[in-house]
C-alpha cells in the first residue's frame, strides 16, 4: 500500500490511529504490529507467511546468540541470520510478491538487530512482539529511513506522545506527502519523455535537463517518503533520525553521501565497512573494504551490472577525494564544488536510470555531446520554459532556504515575524494538504 | 494514553468523530462534485505552474487541446518500414491513392506552446510521394492550412471535424471523382452541442470550451445498407445513439469497426476499398455518392488476413483503393 494513496490516508490511517490511541499503553505495540501486517497484506497476503517466519527466525537466532558463550557459535548464528535476510532482499528484486519494496528496509533492520546482539551492544530482545514491531513496523517500510536497533530499543518498550509531537508529526507527514505528489510526480513528467526516447534522439541540453529532473524526482520521492515515515513515527511516539540533509548543496561526493539516505550509508558503514576493518589496516585494505561496501550498496539498489557500475562510480570518486581531490576541493569556491558534485551525481544517474550498461554509456555520450541530435533542440527549450516555475520550486525545496527564512522570522525583534510564522505554520500545511489531495484525486 | 483516564471517553469520541469527518471528506472527494472542485483546483495550479503539456496533450492557445506527437516516438526505422509497406500495396494495386491527414500540431503550429516539439509530417508526406509517386498521393495539407480557421479540427478531440472532412473530400474529388458532390458548409447541421473529445479524457480536466458535432444534411437523409463486422446492420451513416455515449465521435459510421461494408444505393457499378483510421469515418459518407459499394477496413480491429481478403474480394479488378489515415495513425497502425 502506498502512503500517497486515498486508501491509506482515508481508510487505513484513521482506523489505525484510532485504535492505536484508544488502547492502553501495553497494547500499542500489538496494534502497531497487527496494523503493519494489515498494511503489507493489503498489497499481497502471500508475504505474511515469510514475514512472520523470518521474525521468528531472527528472534530465535538473537536468543541463541545471547545464550551462547562460544564466539564461533555466535558467528554461525549471525551468518545464518544475515544469509536469510540477504536472500529476502535479493529475492525481492527478482519477484515483488516475496516481500514488497519494504523488504529492502526490513532486511537491513533485521541484520542490524542481529549484528548489535552479536557485538554485545544490546541484549537479545525477549519480547518477540517488540522485535516484530522493530523489523516490520510500516512507517519506514516504503523507502526508509533504516532504523538501527540500538536507536530505537528503548522506544519499543516505552514511548511518550503529546499534542505537540502529534501536531509536528502531522505537519511532517503532510510535507512529505506534498513532496511526493506535488513535486516528484510533476517534475518527472519531462524525465518520462526523455526515458521513453532513444538516447540518440536526445539533444545534450535535453539529456541534462532530463537527468536533473530525474535527480529531483528521486530526491523528492525518497525524502518525501522519509518525511512521511518520520511524521508517522512522531505521531506514535517514535523518534527516527533524519534521512536527508539537503544533499543537493553538497560540495563533494563524500559530503553528498553524508546528506543522502544518511541512514543507509550509516548502516553500510557500521555493518559492512567497519567490521571488514575500515581504514585500520593500511591503504590497500581500506580501498578494498570501500570497494566491497560500494558494490554492496549498488546491489542493494538493484541486482544488475549497471547498479554495480553505479557503486563503482562512487567508489572511484570517494577514493579520489580521500587522496588528493578532497584537499583541492576545500580550496575552491563553494559554487564550483557544487557544480562538480552535481556533474558526478548526474553521470551516476545514467547508470541508475539505464536498463543496461550499453544504454548508460549512450546516455553519457549524449550528456557530453558525443551522440544525439545536437546541443539544443526544441524539446529542451520547450520543457525548460514550460517547467520553469516547477524547477524553481524544486530548487527552492531542495535547499534549506525555508528553514533559514523561518529562523529569521522566529528571531525577528518586532514580533511581527513570529506572528507571521505562526500563521504560516497553521495555514501552509492545510493548503498543502488540500492541493495535494486535489492532485491525488486527479490521478486517482 | 495521552490524556488521563478521566478523559478517555472524550478522546474516544474525538477520534470517532475524526474518522467520520475523514470518511465524509473521502466520499465527497469521490463524488462528481468533489472531483469537479478538485479538478478546478489542479487546473488553476497547472496554469500557475505554466504547465503546457499534460498526459501527452498540449494546452495550446485559444483553448485547443492538441495531441502531442514527439519525433522521437516515430523513429526513422518506423518511417522506412511503412514506406516499404505502402510501396508494396501500390505495387500490388496500382490504382491505390493515399491521403495522409495532418494532425493538429502540424497545422495549428501558431497555437502550440513556444518551442513545442512535434513530428514534421510534411516530411513524411514527401517521403511517401518519393516512394510511390506523386500521382498516388492526394495532398490535403495546403487545404487544411488555408481553411484552419474554419474549424477543421475540434478543440477537444484529436480527430477532424465535418469541415475538415469536407476539405479532404474536395481534394479527393478533384483528383479522383468525375464530379464533386455539392456539399455546402453553411448547411452543416449541429447534432451535438456539448462534445468533449478524447483529449479532455487524456488531460483529465474539463476544457473551458466544448465542441459541436456537425453533419451534412445529405449524410443524415441518405439511407444505405451498412454491415459492421458481419454482425451488425444499419441503414444510416450515423448512429444517433452514440451521441449520448462515452464516445460521441462514434456517431459517424458507428465508430471503430474492423470491417464496414456499405451498399450506398447509388447504382454506378463502382466500388471503393479503403484502409483507414477513425478520421476517415467522417469522410467516407461524403464519398458515398461516387460508389455503389464501399469496403472500409480498420486494421486495428480487422481479424482476417488482409491480402487474402483483398484477393477474395477481387479488389484488383473491381475496386478503387484508398489509404486514408491521420499521419500518426499511418505510422502507428498501417500494415501491409
Confidence label for A444 from pLDDT (cuts 50, 70 and 90): very low
Q: Do A438 and B204 touch (CB under 8 A)?
A: no
Instruction: Measure CB to CB from residue B42 to each of A6, A382, A438 and give the nearest one.
Output: A438
Burial zone of A157 (CB within 10 Å; 0-12 exposed, 13-18 middle, 19+ buried): exposed
Contacts of A15 in chain B (CB under 8 A): 19
The residue with cell 569556491 is: A333
pLDDT at A299: 84
Strands B211-215 and B137-138: unpaired
Flag whether residue A161 sits within 8 Å of chain B, measured between CB atoms.
yes
Residues A256-279 have a mean pLDDT of: 92
Residues A102-116 have a mean pLDDT of: 85
Mean pLDDT, all residues of chain B: 89
Q: Are B148 and B107 in contact (CB under 8 A)?
A: yes
Range of the domain at A433: 400-442
**A152 and A171 assigned to the same domain:** no
pLDDT at B51: 78
**A436 and A323 assigned to the same domain:** no
Q: Are A206 and A380 in contact (CB under 8 A)?
A: yes
Instruction: Kindly identify which residue of chain B lies nearest to residue A199, measuring between CA atoms.
Output: B72
**Residue A234 and residue A139: Cα distance in Å, rounded?**
10
| Phi and psi angles of residue A122, each rounded to the nearest 5 degrees, phi first | -135, 160
**Residue B255 and residue B228: Cα distance in Å, rounded?**
10
Confidence label for A98 from pLDDT (cuts 50, 70 and 90): very low
> B40 or A281, which is more confident?
A281
Q: How many CB atoms lie within 10 A of CB A216?
A: 24
Confidence label for A424 from pLDDT (cuts 50, 70 and 90): confident
Locate all alpha helices (DSSP H) within A95-125, ordered by sequence.
102-119
pLDDT at A344 over 90: yes
pLDDT at B8: 60
**Residue A129 and residue A147: Cα distance in Å, rounded?**
17
**A12 and A100 assigned to the same domain:** yes
**A390 and A404 assigned to the same domain:** no
| Phi and psi angles of residue B138, each rounded to the nearest 5 degrees, phi first | -105, 110
**A382 and A421 assigned to the same domain:** no
**Range with the poorest average pLDDT among A317-321, A328-332, A417-421:** A417-421
In sequence order, the β-bridge partners of residue B297 are B259, B275
**Residue A52 and residue A49: Cα distance in Å, rounded?**
5
In sequence order, the β-bridge partners of residue B57 are B54, B67
Question: Is A122 part of a structural domain of the chain?
Answer: yes
User: Mutating which of A385, A386, A392 best tests the B interface, going by the most B Cβ atoms within 10 A?
Assistant: A386
Q: Do B16 and A18 touch (CB under 8 A)?
A: yes
Instruction: Kindly identify which residue of chain A lies nearest to residue B55, measuring between CA atoms.
Output: A189
Question: Is A193 part of a structural domain of the chain?
Answer: yes
**A51 and A75 assigned to the same domain:** yes
Q: Are A203 and A148 in contact (CB under 8 A)?
A: no
Question: Is A372 part of a structural domain of the chain?
Answer: yes
The whole-angstrom distance between residue A194's C-alpha and the CA centroid of its chain comes to: 24
Residues A28-36 have a mean pLDDT of: 93
* Residue range B59-116, pLDDT digits in tens: 899 989 999 998 888 988 999 999 999 999 999 999 999 999 999 999 999 999 988 9
Q: Are B264 and B288 in contact (CB under 8 A)?
A: yes
**A114 and A143 assigned to the same domain:** yes
**Range with the poorest average pLDDT among A79-88, A433-442, B17-26:** B17-26
**Residue A158 and residue A242: Cα distance in Å, rounded?**
21
Q: Do A381 and B114 touch (CB under 8 A)?
A: yes
pLDDT at A283 over 60: yes
Q: Are B195 and B154 in contact (CB under 8 A)?
A: yes
CB proximity under 8 Å: A 389-408 to B? 389-390, 393
pLDDT at A382 over 80: yes
Q: Are B170 and B118 in contact (CB under 8 A)?
A: no
> Total domain count for chain A?
3
pLDDT at A410 over 80: no
Mean pLDDT, all residues of chain A: 87
Confidence label for B131 from pLDDT (cuts 50, 70 and 90): very high
Instruction: Measure CB to CB from residue A6 to each of B12, B26, B52 and give the nearest one.
Output: B26
Grid coordinates representing B323 are 489509404
DSSP class per residue in B157-172? -SSB-HHHHHHHHHHH
The helix/strand/coil state of B240 is helix
Instruction: Kindly identify which residue of chain B lies nearest to residue A379, measuring between CA atoms.
Output: B117
Q: Are A65 and A114 in contact (CB under 8 A)?
A: yes
**A36 and A155 assigned to the same domain:** yes
Question: Is A112 part of a structural domain of the chain?
Answer: yes
Q: Are B325 and B334 in contact (CB under 8 A)?
A: yes
| Phi and psi angles of residue B325, each rounded to the nearest 5 degrees, phi first | -135, 155
Q: How many CB atoms lie within 10 A of CB B303?
A: 8
Question: Is A363 part of a structural domain of the chain?
Answer: yes
Express as a percent the part of chain A with pLDDT over 70: 96
> B25 or B314, which is more confident?
B314
Q: Using the 3D structure, point to which of A139, A159, A179 is the last residue of a domain.
A: A159
User: Mutating which of A10, A203, A234 best tests the B interface, going by the most B Cβ atoms within 10 A?
Assistant: A10
Burial zone of A257 (CB within 10 Å; 0-12 exposed, 13-18 middle, 19+ buried): buried
Q: Do B34 and A441 touch (CB under 8 A)?
A: yes
Flag whether residue A20 sits within 8 Å of chain B, measured between CB atoms.
no
pLDDT at B1: 46
Min Cα separation A381/chain B (Å): 6
Q: Do B26 and A196 touch (CB under 8 A)?
A: no
Cα–Cα distance list, A264 to A156, A247, A306, B259 (Å): 21, 14, 20, 59
Min Cα separation B117/chain A (Å): 5
Rounded to 10 deg, the angle between the A283-301 and A305-320 helix axes is 140
The helix/strand/coil state of B192 is strand
Flag whether residue A166 sits within 8 Å of chain B, measured between CB atoms.
yes
pLDDT at A100: 54
Residues A407-423 have a mean pLDDT of: 77
Question: Is A15 part of a structural domain of the chain?
Answer: yes
**A10 and A102 assigned to the same domain:** yes
Contacts of A21 in chain B (CB under 8 A): 1-2, 11, 15
pLDDT at B5 over 60: no
Residues A199-224 have a mean pLDDT of: 91
**A35 and A133 assigned to the same domain:** yes
Question: Is A424 part of a structural domain of the chain?
Answer: yes
pLDDT at B4 over 70: no
ipTM for the assembly? 0.71
Question: Is A1 part of a structural domain of the chain?
Answer: no
**A118 and A48 assigned to the same domain:** yes
Confidence label for B53 from pLDDT (cuts 50, 70 and 90): confident
CB proximity under 8 Å: A 356-385 to B? 377-379, 381-382, 385
Q: Using the 3D structure, point to which of A159, A174, A195 is the last residue of a domain.
A: A159
**A306 and A349 assigned to the same domain:** yes
Q: Do B72 and A22 touch (CB under 8 A)?
A: no
* Residue range A304-315, pLDDT digits in tens: 888 889 999 999
In sequence order, the β-bridge partners of residue B323 are B98, B275
pLDDT at B165 over 60: yes
The helix/strand/coil state of A210 is helix
**Residue B310 and residue B26: Cα distance in Å, rounded?**
56
The helix/strand/coil state of B258 is coil
Q: Do A442 and B205 touch (CB under 8 A)?
A: yes
Q: Using the 3D structure, point to which of A159, A192, A212 is the last residue of a domain.
A: A159
pLDDT at A234 over 90: yes
Amino acid at each position: 500500500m502506498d502512503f500517497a494513496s486515498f486508501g491509506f490516508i482515508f481508510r487505513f490511517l484513521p482506523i489505525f490511529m484510532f485504535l492505536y490511541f484508544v488502547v492502553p499503553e501495553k497494547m500499542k505495540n500489538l496494534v502497531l504490529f497487527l496494523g503493519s501486517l494489515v498494511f503489507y497484506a493489503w498489497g499481497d497476503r502471500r508475504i505474511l507467511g515469510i514475514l512472520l517466519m523470518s521474525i521468528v527466525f531472527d528472534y530465535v537466532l538473537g536468543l541463541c546468540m545471547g545464550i551462547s558463550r562460544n564466539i564461533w557459535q555466535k558467528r554461525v548464528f549471525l551468518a545464518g541470520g544475515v544469509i536469510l535476510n540477504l536472500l529476502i532482499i535479493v529475492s525481492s528484486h527478482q519477484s515483488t510478491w516475496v516481500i514488497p519494496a519494504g523488504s529492502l528496509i526490513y532486511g537491513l533492520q533485521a541484520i542490524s538487530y542481529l549484528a548489535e546482539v552479536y557485538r554485545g551492544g544490546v541484549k537479545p530482545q525477549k519480547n518477540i512482539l517488540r522485535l516484530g514491531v522493530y523489523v516490520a513496523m510500516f512507517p519506514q517500510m516504503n523507502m526508509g529511513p533504516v532504523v538501527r536497533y540500538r536507536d530505537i530499543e528503548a522506544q519499543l518498550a516505552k514511548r511518550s506522545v503529546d499534542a505537540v509531537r502529534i501536531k509536528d508529526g502531522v505537519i511532517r507527514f503532510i510535507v512529505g506527502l506534498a513532496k511526493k505528489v506535488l513535486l516528484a510526480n510533476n517534475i518527472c513528467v519531462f524525465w518520462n519523455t526523455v526515458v521513453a526516447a532513444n538516447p540518440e534522439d536526445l539533444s545534450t541540453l535535453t539529456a541534462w535537463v532530463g537527468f536533473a529532473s530525474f535527480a529531483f524526482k528521486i530526491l523528492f520521492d525518497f525524502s518525501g517518503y522519509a518525511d512521511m515515515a518520520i511524521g508517522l513515527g512522531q505521531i506514535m511516539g517514535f523518534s527516527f533520525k533524519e534521512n536527508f540533509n539537503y544533499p543537493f548543496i553538497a560540495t563533494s561526493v563524500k559530503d553528498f553521501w553524508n546528506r543522502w539516505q544518511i541512514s543507509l550509508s550509516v548502516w553500510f558503514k557500521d555493518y559492512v565497512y567497519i567490521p571488514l576493518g575500515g581504514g585500520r589496516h593500511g591503504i590497500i585494505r581500506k580501498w578494498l573494504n570501500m570497494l566491497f561496501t560500494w558494490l554492496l550498496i549498488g546491489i542493494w539498489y538493484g541486482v544488475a551490472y549497471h547498479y554495480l557500475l553505479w557503486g563503482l562510480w562512487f567508489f572511484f570518486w570517494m577514493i579520489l577525494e580521500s587522496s588528493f581531490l578532497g584537499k583541492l576541493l576545500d580550496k575552491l569556491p563553494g559554487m564550483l564544488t557544487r557544480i562538480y558534485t552535481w556533474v558526478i551525481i548526474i553521470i551516476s544517474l545514467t547508470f541508475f536510470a539505464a536498463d543496461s550498461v550499453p544504454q548508460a554509456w549512450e546516455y553519457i555520450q549524449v550528456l557530453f555531446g558525443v551522440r544525439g541530435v545536437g546541443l539544443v533542440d526544441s524539446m529542451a527549450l520547450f520543457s525548460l520554459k514550460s517547467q520553469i516555475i516547477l524547477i524553481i520550486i524544486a530548487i527552492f525545496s531542495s535547499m534549506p532556504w525555508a528553514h533559514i527564512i523561518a529562523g529569521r522570522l522566529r528571531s525577528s525583534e518586532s514580533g511581527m515575524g513570529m506572528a507571521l510564522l505562526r500563521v504560516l505554520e497553521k495555514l501552509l500545511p492545510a493548503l498543502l494538504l488540500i492541493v495535494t489531495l486535489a492532485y491525488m484525486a486527479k490521478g486517482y | 494514553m495521552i490524556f488521563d483516564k478521566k478523559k478517555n471517553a472524550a478522546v474516544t469520541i474525538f477520534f470517532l468523530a475524526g474518522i467520520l469527518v475523514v470518511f465524509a471528506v473521502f466520499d465527497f472527494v469521490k463524488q462528481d462534485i468533489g472531483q469537479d472542485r478538485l479538478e478546478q483546483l489542479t487546473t488553476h495550479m497547472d496554469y500557475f505552474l505554466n504547465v503546457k503539456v499534460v498526459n501527452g496533450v498540449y494546452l495550446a492557445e485559444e483553448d485547443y487541446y492538441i495531441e502531442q506527437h514527439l519525433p522521437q516516438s516515430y523513429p526513422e526505422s518506423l518511417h522506412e518500414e511503412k514506406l516499404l509497406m505502402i510501396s508494396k500495396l501500390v505495387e500490388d494495386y496500382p490504382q491505390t491513392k493515399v491521403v495522409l491527414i495532418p494532425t493538429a500540431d502540424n497545422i495549428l503550429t501558431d497555437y502550440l506552446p513556444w518551442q513545442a516539439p512535434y513530428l514534421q509530417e510534411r516530411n513524411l508526406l514527401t517521403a511517401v510521394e518519393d516512394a510511390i509517386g506523386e500521382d498516388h498521393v492526394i495532398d490535403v495539407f495546403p487545404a487544411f492550412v488555408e481553411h484552419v480557421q474554419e474549424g477543421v479540427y475540434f478543440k477537444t478531440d484529436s480527430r477532424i471535424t465535418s469541415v475538415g472532412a469536407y476539405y479532404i473530400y474536395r481534394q479527393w474529388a478533384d483528383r479522383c471523382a468525375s464530379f464533386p458532390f455539392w456539399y455546402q458548409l453553411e448547411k452543416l447541421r449541429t447534432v451535438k452541442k456539448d462534445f468533449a473529445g478524447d483529449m479532455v479524457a487524456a488531460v483529465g480536466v474539463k476544457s473551458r470550451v466544448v465542441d459541436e458535432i456537425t453533419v451534412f444534411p445529405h449524410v443524415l437523409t441518405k439511407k444505405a445498407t451498412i454491415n459492421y463486422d458481419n454482425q451488425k446492420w444499419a441503414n444510416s451513416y450515423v448512429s444517433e445513439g452514440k451521441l449520448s455515449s462515452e464516445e460521441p465521435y462514434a456517431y459517424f459510421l458507428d465508430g471503430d469497426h474492423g470491417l464496414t461494408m456499405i451498399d450506398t444505393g447509388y447504382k454506378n457499378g463502382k466500388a471503393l476499398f479503403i484502409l483507414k483510421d477513425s478520421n476517415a469515418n467522417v469522410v467516407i459518407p461524403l464519398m458515398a455518392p461516387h460508389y455503389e459499394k464501399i469496403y472500409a477496413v480498420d486494421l486495428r480491429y480487422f481479424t482476417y488476413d488482409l491480402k487474402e481478403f483483398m484477393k477474395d474480394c477481387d479488389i484488383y479488378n473491381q475496386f478503387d483503393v484508398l489509404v486514408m489515415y491521420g499521419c500518426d495513425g499511418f505510422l502507428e497502425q498501417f500494415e501491409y
